[in-house]
Amino acid sequence: MTVEIISIGDELLIGQTVNTNAAWIGSQLSLLGGEVEYCTVIRDEEDVIFNSFELAMSRVDVVMVTGGLGPTKDDITKHVLCKFFDSKLVQNEEVLEHVKSFFEKRDREMLDINILQSHVPDKATALFNEFGTAPGMWFDKDGKVLVSMPGIPYEMKAIMLNEVISRLQNKFEINGLYYQTLQTQGMGESYIADRIVDLETEMKDNGISLAYLPSSGGVRLRLSSNKSDRMLQVIESYLLSLEAIFPEYVFGRGQISLPDVVGQLLTKQKKTVGTVESCTGGSVASALTSVAGSSAYFEGSIVSYSKEVKMDLVGVSEHTIIEHGLVSTEVVEEMAINGKKILNTDYCIALSGYAGPSSGLPEDLIGDVCIAIAGNERVLSKKFKFEKDRSRNIRRSVLTVLNLLRCELLKINIEKS
């Protein structure tokens, strides 16, 4: 089952919206065993849409289209679909009922343009849109499929999960790529490559391709092969080897996030955590609480952004600040130790740093971040040199401290790093 994803919308081309839909659809269909070969973004123009449908239907089995189905005047996808499939719009009573009850439930008035959304091409199967008023549409033609869905992410996702995936599984015999991903934090692409030169060659000889996927968060390592029970085991053995080589950097598999991993460890060990943050401004707390069920281990935080809050609320001594500076291992150790008492937790994370950009500070201080973790057994602190860019700096600080906490929870020795 080969796939092309077509995303319609000027806002994607001019970069006002990032195409997260295509990424999500791609990941879902890959997991299913589909091979996503192309993803194309085009303008909301009749000819361009028509030609793209034609090209896509000629080169893949399944064409997934998003966008251009809203109630407002700038959306034309439905009309192009009618033309392309030689179909005409008819009122769909089921969809109309849904649209009516959609507005009733929300106690909002239904408008005339909303009624138009119940008009569906007569050659399409309407796909129920749980969270919105524009239905998805499924077209069959010459053994191939075109699916059209709204561009609003949560509407599209519900249609995919509830309506599209099972239909695709029924129609196509799917046996695509098998892949697994390791997530790492704290080491660069070429450093990894250098440490595993021989292993990489060996994997290649065994039919496994290794891809390095760097991002600002860390490098992901993807091992992929054709799908078979044997390859599943071979890949598993290489995943174990890689995890053993880099225990302090590899934090998980697949799409799991570092806050998820840390949350699972805290839950399992029945430990609690809190944070005292300066430069990260609450971002570590926000990351920890992004996980459903985090109230089981997360107690609370103090964001001590100003010197006054550091001293008055967290009780950092003025002497330590004057002696060592606001960004020092001594200050974050006090923040962590005091925060652990105030928030009454097993672990307390503390950070202080110069996130940038420079405002009167010497330029070379930007990127300095001190981190401490106070636990029941010891207090760990380290000084890092991160980036000059504010948001990357904050992001790296958050990931670094969460990975440090992971290593503490697993008793992995990171002193050598």
* 416 is a site residue for a second copy (CB under 8 A): no
Binding of a second copy by 58 (CB under 8 A): no
Contacts (CB under 8 A) with a second copy, residues 320-359: 342-344, 356-357, 359
End-to-end Cα, the chain, rounded Å: 45
Q: Hunting for tokens 């973004």 — which residue is that? A: 41
How far apart, in whole angstroms, are the C-alpha atoms of residue 25 and residue 36?
9
Q: According to CB under 8 A, which residues from 244 to 303 bind a second copy?
A: 275, 277, 280-286, 288-290, 292-295, 298-303
Nearer to a second copy, 71 or 247 (CB): 71
Task: Give long-range contacts, CB 8 A cutoff, 24+ apart: 205-212.
Answer: 206/234, 207/231, 207/234, 208/234, 208/235, 208/238
Block residue for tokens 């499939």: 85
3-class secondary-structure state, position 218: strand
Q: What angle do CA 51, 56, 61 make, to 5 degrees?
A: 150
Q: Which is nearer to a second copy, 125 or 311 (CB)?
A: 311
Question: Closest approach of Cβ 16 to a second copy, in Å?
Answer: 6
Other beta carbons within 10 angstroms of residue 292's beta carbon come to 8
Determine the residue type at 284: V
Q: Does 12 bind a second copy (CB under 8 A)?
A: yes
Taking the C-alpha atoms of residue 199 and residue 208, their distance in angstroms, rounded to an integer, is 11
Please report how close the Cβ of residue 10 comes to a second copy at its closest, in angstroms. 7
- Closest approach of a second copy to the CB of residue 152, in Å: 6
Shortest Å distance, C-beta 86 to a second copy: 26
Q: What's the closest the beta carbon of residue 121 comes to a second copy, in angstroms? A: 22
Helix (H) or strand (E) holding 385: strand 379-385
Question: Is residue 128 within the footprint of a second copy (CB under 8 A)?
Answer: no
Position 391 contacts a second copy (CB under 8 A): yes
| In the complex, minimum distance from the CB of residue 410 to a second copy, in angstroms, rounded to a whole number | 24
43 binds a second copy (CB under 8 A): yes
Residues 177-196 that bind a second copy (CB under 8 A): 177, 179, 181, 189-191, 193-194
